[in-house]
Copies of this chain bind each other. A is one copy, B any other.
Amino acid sequence: MKSIESLSYEELLDTFKSILKSNNLKFTMQREAILRTLYEHPDHFTPENLYLLVKEKYPELNTGITTVYRTLNLLEENKLATSLSFGTQGKKFELGNKPHHDHMICEVCGTIVEFEDSEIEALQQAIAKAHGFKLTDHLMQLYGICQNCRDEQ
A124 lies within 8 A of B136 (CB): no
**For A147, what are the chain B residues with a Cβ–Cβ distance below 8 Å?**
132-133
**For A123, what are the chain B residues with a Cβ–Cβ distance below 8 Å?**
117, 119-120, 123
Min CB distance A121 to B, Å, is: 10
**For A128, what are the chain B residues with a Cβ–Cβ distance below 8 Å?**
104, 142, 144
Min CB distance A113 to B, Å, is: 5
Produce 1/0 per residue, A136-150, CB < 8 A to B.
Answer: 111111111111001
Complexed CA–CA distance, A134 and B106 (Å): 9
Min CB distance A65 to B, Å, is: 15
Segment at the interface with B among A6-14, A19-27, A32-40, A84-92: A84-92
Complexed CA–CA distance, A136 and B107 (Å): 9
Min CB distance A138 to B, Å, is: 5
**For A120, what are the chain B residues with a Cβ–Cβ distance below 8 Å?**
120, 123-124
A136 lies within 8 A of B145 (CB): yes
A135 lies within 8 A of B140 (CB): no
Is A97's beta carbon under 8 Å from chain B? no
Measured CB to CB, the nearest residue on chain B to A133 is B144
A133 lies within 8 A of B119 (CB): no
